[in-house]
Structure 1
Amino acid sequence: MDFNFENELKNKIALVTGGSKGAGKAIADRLFKAGATVIITARNKPQEENENIHFIAADLSKPEGTQKVVDEVIEKFGRLDILINNLGGSETPAGGFAVLSDEDWETSFQTNLLAPVRLDRGFLPGMINRHEGVIIHIASIQAKLPLYDSTLPYAAAKAALVNYSKSLSNEVASKGVRVLTVSPGWIMTTSSVRMMERIAKSTGGTMAEAEKGVMDALGGIPFGRAARPEEVAELVGFLVSPRAAYLTGTEYVIDGGTIPTL
C-alpha cells in the first residue's frame, strides 16, 4: 500500500478535546498538517487562535457540555471520523487520601472518564453506520504508577479509562471502528507546571524540589526528560492514519522508559 503521509487524512473530520494547549494542541496541529478538518474543544478560547481549526467552547466535565459538542459537530460537519479524547487533568490537592473530598473524586471522574464515555456514545452510532472511524483515548502511565500524594483520583480515573477503552474496542472492532489508548508519561506542559506549583505550595518546598519529587515518585525517567507534546502527537498521528489500519484494542505507552516492567 502507498500512503501520502502529508495528505493521508484528507477528507477526514477530527475532534480533539482539550485541544487548545499542551499535547492536545500539538495533536490538533499534527492532524491538520495531515490534511484533516480539525475541531477542538476547551472551556476557553485558545490564546493563539488558528483560523484553520474550528473551536467549540464547552465544559466537558458536564453532560450538557458533551452534548453541545456532539450536536454542533453533527450539525456543522455532518459526521465525525476521528475522535481524540485528550481532555484530562488533576486539580485535586496534595496530601493523600485524607484531604480528598467526594467532590474531588467526582470532578476527576467526570473529566477523565465520563467525558470520553459520553462523547464516544454520541459519535459511535454514526461511525458504526458508516463502518469506519477511529477513537483514541489519552490515558496516562499513572493508571499503573499512581502518585498517591498528589493525583490519586486522576490515576484511578485513568485506570478506569484504559479498561473501558479495551472493552469498547472489543465491542466495535467488528463494526469497523478502531479504538486505541495512548498512555503518556510525564509531558512538559503548563498543566505539569501547575501541578508542581501545587506540590511546592503544599510541602513548602521549591519548584525544583517538586520536580525532583515527581521524578522520584515515577521511579525516574531513563530517557532523562519529560516528553514533548509534539512527540505524543506524532504517535497519535500514526495511530489514526491508514498506516495503522489493523491496530485496535491496544494501549501504547510513551513514557521515555518510565514504567519499569513489561
Structure 2
Amino acid sequence: MFRTIADPDPSEFAGKRVVVTGGSRGIGAAIVQRFLDGGATVVATARSATSETPPAASFISGDISSNDGVRAFASGALDALGGVDILINNAGAARAYPEGIDSIPDEEWQDALDLNYLSAVRLTGALLPALREAGAGSVVVNISSGTALSPQGPTAHYGAAKAALANYGKALASELAPAGIRVLTLTPGNVLTPGADAIRQAIADTMGVTLEATTAGVPLGRAGDPRDVAEAVVYLASDRAQWVTGTNLVVDGGELPTF
C-alpha cells in the first residue's frame, strides 16, 4: 500500500504553467493533482474527463493521436495558460493481443505509434516555441512503459512505441540542453490503473492465473500506485533535478531489467 507522504510544498511550482496529456485518470490524473498541490496552473487533456480528473485543472477534451488533434489542443492550452513551462507527455493506451505478435493487426501498430509516440513528438514540437520563450528551466517529461524494457508479445506494438519515445527523448535532450531545457523519460513498472489492469487481465486470462499474480513478482512487495509515478515526475520537473537531463528514470519497485 502506498504510504502517504508529508504535505507537498504548495509554493514549489507557483507560477509554473503545466501541460499534462492523458490527464483524466490513473497516472495522468495523479500527476495533474500533484502539480496542483505544488501550486502550478495545469491544463490537462484526454478524450474525455472522468470522476478521477482533478477539478482544479483546466481540462480540454480531444484526441491527440492525430496532427489536427495535437494542433487544436496546443492552441487551446496556450490560450488557457499564456505559455508553457512544463510539458508531461503521458498519453498512452493499447489493447493486448494474448495470441502473440502475429495476431496484432496492422492498424493497431499504427494506432500505437500515433498515440504512444507521435502524439508526444508532435505536441512537443507544437509547444517548443513556448518552452523556448519560457527559457532555461523549462522541462519535458515523457512517460514510457515497462514494456519498452521488458517486451512481451501481446503488447509488442505498445512497447515498441514507448521504446521509440525514450529514444526520442534522449536525442531531444541533447539538442535542447544548450537552451537550458531539460528532457527526461520516466518508465513506470506495474502500476495499478484502469488501463493497465485491463491489459493485465487479458494476459492473466490467457495464462489461467489471477490478476494479482501478474504483479506478484515485484521485489518491493506491491504493485505501483499512480502517486508513486507522480512523485517521481515532480522531482524530475523541479529545480531539485536541475542537473538531470536525457536520463530514463525507472520507477518499478525493482522489477524491470535495466540496461
TM-score (norm 2): 0.91
Deviations 1:162-197 (A, max 9, x none): 111000000001112110010010101111221133
Give the corresponding residue for 1:205.
208
* Structure 1 runs (4+) greater than 6 angstroms displaced: none
Give runs of aligned pairs for residues 177-216 of structure 1, distance below 5 A.
177-201=181-205, 203=206, 205=208, 208=210, 210-212=211-213, 214-215=214-215
CA distance in 2, matches of 1:131, 1:95: 48
The corresponding residue for 2:235 is: 238
Match of 1:73 in 2: 77
| Range with greater deviation from structure 2 (29-38 or 41-50) | 41-50
Instruction: Please tell me whether the aligned partners of residues 43 and 80 of structure 2 are also in contact (alpha carbons under 8 angstroms).
Output: no
- Asked if 1:143 corresponds to 2:131, the answer is no
What is the deviation of 1:101?
A: 1.3
Tell me if 1:24 matches 2:28.
Answer: yes
- What is the alpha-carbon distance in structure 2 between the residues aligned to residue 127 and residue 185 of structure 1? 29
Partners of 1:204 and 1:241 lie apart in 2 by 42
Following the alignment from structure 2 to structure 1, what is the Cα–Cα distance between the partners of residues 258 and 36? 35
The DSSP-based 3-state class of the residue aligned with 2:10 is helix
Distance 2:97 2:23 in 1: 25
Of stretches 91-100 and 19-28 in structure 1, the one that deviates more from structure 2 is: 91-100
CA distance in 2, matches of 1:169, 1:256: 26
* Change beyond 3 A, Cα 1:79–1:48: same
Q: CA deviation at 1:211?
A: 4.3
Where in structure 1 are there 5+ consecutive unaligned residues? Answer: none
**Among 56, 59, 64, the residue aligned to 1:60:** 64
Over the residues paired in the alignment, what is the CA RMSD in angstroms?
Answer: 1.8
User: Does the CA-based 8 Å contact 1:93-1:100 persist in structure 2?
Assistant: yes
Give the TM-score normalised by the residue count of structure 1: 0.90
Residue 256 of structure 1 corresponds to: 253
Q: Secondary structure at the match of 1:174?
A: helix
Q: Write the deviation string for residues 218-259 of structure 1: whole angstroms up to 9, x where unpaired.
A: xx3211221111111011111111221111111100111112
Change (3 A) 1:65 1:259: same
> Partners of 1:19 and 1:110 in 2: how far apart?
17
Deviates further, 82-91 or 114-123: 82-91
Identity fraction in percent = 39
- Distance (whole Å) between structure 2 residues aligned to residue 244 and residue 14 of structure 1: 17
Q: 1:98 aligned to 2:102? A: yes
What amino acid is aligned across from residue 225 of structure 2 in structure 1? R
Query: 2:258, 2:38 → 1: CA distance?
Result: 34
Kept in 2: contact 1:196–1:211 (CA 8 A): no
> What secondary structure does 1:222 align onto?
coil
Write out per-residue CA displacement over residues 110-158 of structure 1, whole angstroms, 9 at most, x where no aligned residue: 111000001100111221233231100000122110111x211011111
Note closer, same or farther for the CA distance 1:129–1:204 as it changes in structure 2 (3 Å cut): closer
Give 5+ residue unaligned stretches, structure 2.
1-7
